[in-house]
Structure 1
Amino acid sequence: MIRDDEQADKILSGILDDYKSAPISEKEKEMLDYAVKLTKKPASVKKEDLDRLREFDLSDRDILDLNQVVAYFNYVNRTADGLGIELEAEHKKIRGVE
């Protein structure tokens, strides 16, 4: 948990701008790579992607949790988009739909 608001803002900003150069661990970057792939090209996720996560010491349970969180957020976002639900300004910025 980050207890330094300034550091937390820096990390969040870095993730939103370009997570690959953000001040986060390689493990976190790998998890985000998986999340992006699952979001943008879910059919392209292969066993090798899961093996890569395991190389960063993610257990099968960790991978399942990651998959479920990403899938749930995608579901909620698509549901909101499909119903024309307006997002609050902060969420628009995060999703890049200002």
Structure 2
Amino acid sequence: MAALAADHTEARLDEADRAMLDYAARLTLAPGEIAETDVAPLKTHGFDDLAIHDICAITGYYAFVNRLADGLGVELEHGKG
């Protein structure tokens, strides 16, 4: 998990998981540049249109929630206990 959090490209993942995370990272960092060539590896690794939609929606939602929280100055709660 630590390797995933630090840099997914360095984590030991199967190829389908790497393709999914590569797409999510590109969508996060360069959303206006997403093209069919970014989606093709997902299809190659067995993701159907619904799964690709879900990956895109979850990635977009996560970005939205984080930007909303940042914009409102919401601070993260740390573990209680």
Q: Distance in 1 between matches of 2:63 and 2:11?
A: 23
Find the counterpart in structure 1 of residue 17 from structure 2.
28
Which segments of 5 or more consecutive residues in structure 2 lack a partner in the other structure?
none
- Give 1:88 shift: 2.9
Q: Distance in 1 between matches of 2:67 and 2:36?
A: 26
Identity, % of aligned pairs? 35
Residue type at the aligned position of 1:88: E
* Alpha-carbon RMSD: 1.3
Q: Distance in 2 between matches of 1:86 and 1:67?
A: 26
- SS of the aligned residue for 1:34 comes to helix
Find the counterpart in structure 1 of residue 77 from structure 2.
88
Q: 1:36-83 CA distances to partner (integer Å, 9 max, x unpaired)?
A: 111111001001111121011100011000000001101100100010
Q: Distance in 2 between matches of 1:71 and 1:58?
A: 18
Residue from 48, 67, 74 that aligns with 2:37: 48
TM-score by length of 2: 0.89
- SS of the aligned residue for 1:77 comes to helix
